[in-house]
Structure 1
Amino acid sequence: MELRTVTVTRYIMPLREGGSLPALAEADDDFKYVLKFRGAGHGVKALIAELLGGEIARTLGLRVPELVFANLDPAFGRTEGDEEIQDLLKKSQGLNLGLHFLSGAITYDPAAGEVNPRLASEIVWLDAYTTNIDRTVRNTNMLMWHKELWLIDHGATFYFHHSWDNWEKHSTSAFELIKDHVLLSAASELDAVNTDFKLKLSAEKLREIVNLIPDDWLQWEDLDLKPEEIREVYFQFLTGRLVHSETFVNEAKNARA
């Protein structure tokens, strides 16, 4: 597995207010991307979560915009008039993450249409597996594009890595926050999805996904581990959750009941 690398050529506009300030940008391949910055919010850990969550979803057959590594040149953004944005761009020099911009897509509204039980179960399983706390009625993080459902914004997955304490315990947790998932009520096929998805996520495939994390994103001042040691923790976390998948599946089923 590998991701393309592009160079950002034009900052178009911020996409919403807030601490992370993602932006719409254009790259040297003439495509537009939703750019996630290493200098924002939770820094590279949010980018790692976005990368792992998105590529796991893609491996499972769910629709996710193409992810690319997006290089930001040191000279980029010097003429930006907004001081906050200019500061963000300076802090984000180097490798960032971009998601292919789905022009014309609209935010999924749970009141506007139902998701079929199989697809709902697949998305709930994914989010319980990756401990995604941010797919709720308030913020669905899903888009409708050409009448199909696309998943975006996986930066809130793997929240254990913000403290890095007891990651072994988190790898076997039931993930109680699944009770707030926007699609939980429709997810009636969790057992079947669990059987199918465990076959798709082989150890080899998980290793490939984890190995996508650049060394540049694994230089953490608050942690005395080498990049390969940090990757190994992510790999062990993912394999541990897979072994104990019945735990979070049962939690989701109980929450539905």
Structure 2
Amino acid sequence: MKHTQPELRSVNVVRYVTPLREGGSLPAIIEADDDFLYVLKFRGAGQGVKALIAELVAGELARVLGLRIPELVFANLDESFGRAEPDEEIQDLLQFSVGLNLGLHYLSRAITFDSLVTTVDARLASQIVWLDCLITNVDRTARNTNMLMWHKELWLIDHGAAFYFHHSWQNWKEQAKRPFVQVKDHVLLPQATQLTEVDAEFKALLSPEQIQSIVSLIPDDWLTGDSPFATPEEHRQAYAQFLEARLAHTDIFIQEAQHARKALI
């Protein structure tokens, strides 16, 4: 089995283009020194670096599983950046976000996925539902799909709400083995008829080595501050242990999803 070593490029933010007013975290479109546009997730926003960690780990898991996700990059924000920004709220956000942030390649002219317009086949729907159960992503509902159609293909975005247990780390080992009850609100659940087949395939792709290589991407300075762990590496390993425990008990979240699906139909 081929082991994919994830790597993230680093860019420097050179221009703040426009805020994206959707959501409470005030992401923005920025231009970087590689001349590309990115949707920037700021470390100084409401959920702080935890949202960036969720975005990074969930995004790279999705990529290993073969799902389409915009390229993620580490984006450096210099302390001089944004001093001329006239909007006080944005200026504060930029000030609190000096250092390492996370950018997603901006998919120009992409349109928001609408389940009434686009039908997703059973296999892809099952893959996405399975991923969201693994990462406890509460944010893929009909009201807020966090999926885009770009060049007639489905792309996944915005995973900052995943791994919600890490906002407190209470009973996280037990939480790894819990069903994901919020799957009942998943926009693709009605089409997800191949969860058992997808489970076998995806578990084979997510080896312990693969998980280690993904969590190793989390920067040290995102793992300090109010961390309950003694070191950044111990903190990183907690994410790995959560994922490995969840992968060992996927039958729990698959049964929950299948039960929720039957209740819908």
1:109 and 1:181 mapped to 2: Cα distance?
Answer: 13
1:252 and 1:95 mapped to 2: Cα distance?
Answer: 36
Give the secondary-structure state (helix, strand or coil) at the position aligned to 2:116: coil
How much has 1:222 moved relative to structure 2? 5.1
| Residues 227 and 235 in structure 2, CA contact (< 8 A), matched pair in contact too | no
TM-score normalised according to structure 2 size: 0.96
How much has 1:19 moved relative to structure 2? 2.7
Give the secondary-structure state (helix, strand or coil) at the position aligned to 2:253: helix
1:152 and 1:192 mapped to 2: Cα distance?
Answer: 24
2:22 and 2:203 mapped to 1: Cα distance?
Answer: 38
**RMSD between aligned residues:** 0.8
Alignment-derived partner of residue 76 in structure 1: 81
State yes or no: 1:37 paired with 2:32.
no
Structure 1: which amino acid aligns with 2:246?
Answer: R
Give the secondary-structure state (helix, strand or coil) at the position aligned to 1:241: helix
TM-score normalised according to structure 1 size: 0.99
Alignment of structure 1 residues 120-199 onto 2, 5 Å:
120-199=125-204
Moved more, 40-49 or 219-228: 219-228
2:22 and 2:86 mapped to 1: Cα distance?
Answer: 17
Give the secondary-structure state (helix, strand or coil) at the position aligned to 2:137: coil
1:232 and 1:149 mapped to 2: Cα distance?
Answer: 32
Moved more, 118-127 or 15-24: 15-24
Give % identity.
Answer: 65
Instruction: Specify which of 235, 240, 246 is matched with residue 245 of structure 2.
Output: 240
Unmatched 5+ residue regions in structure 2? 1-5
Alignment-derived partner of residue 231 in structure 2: 226
Alignment-derived partner of residue 252 in structure 1: 257
Structure 2: which amino acid aligns with 1:219?
Answer: T
Alignment-derived partner of residue 49 in structure 1: 54
Give the secondary-structure state (helix, strand or coil) at the position aligned to 2:225: coil
State yes or no: 1:61 paired with 2:71.
no
1:220 and 1:241 mapped to 2: Cα distance?
Answer: 26
2:63 and 2:22 mapped to 1: Cα distance?
Answer: 28
1:113 and 1:17 mapped to 2: Cα distance?
Answer: 22
Give the secondary-structure state (helix, strand or coil) at the position aligned to 1:177: helix
Alignment of structure 1 residues 90-109 onto 2, 5 Å:
90-109=95-114
Per-residue deviation, residues 114-167 of structure 1 (Å, max 9, x unmatched): 100000000000000000000000000000000000000000000000011000
Give the secondary-structure state (helix, strand or coil) at the position aligned to 2:31: strand
1:132 and 1:220 mapped to 2: Cα distance?
Answer: 24
How much has 1:168 moved relative to structure 2? 0.5
How much has 1:16 moved relative to structure 2? 1.3
How much has 1:220 moved relative to structure 2? 2.2
Give the secondary-structure state (helix, strand or coil) at the position aligned to 1:70: strand
Give the secondary-structure state (helix, strand or coil) at the position aligned to 1:144: strand
Structure 2: which amino acid aligns with 1:71?
Answer: N
2:210 and 2:109 mapped to 1: Cα distance?
Answer: 33
1:197 and 1:222 mapped to 2: Cα distance?
Answer: 30
How much has 1:17 moved relative to structure 2? 4.6
Alignment-derived partner of residue 9 in structure 1: 14
Per-residue deviation, residues 30-76 of structure 1 (Å, max 9, x unmatched): 00000000000110000000000000000000000000000000000
How much has 1:244 moved relative to structure 2? 0.2
How many residue pairs match? The answer is 257
Give the secondary-structure state (helix, strand or coil) at the position aligned to 1:213: coil
Structure 2: which amino acid aligns with 1:129?
Answer: L
Per-residue deviation, residues 158-216 of structure 1 (Å, max 9, x unmatched): 00000110001111011111110000000000000000000000000000000000001
Moved over 6 A (4+): none
How much has 1:224 moved relative to structure 2? 4.6
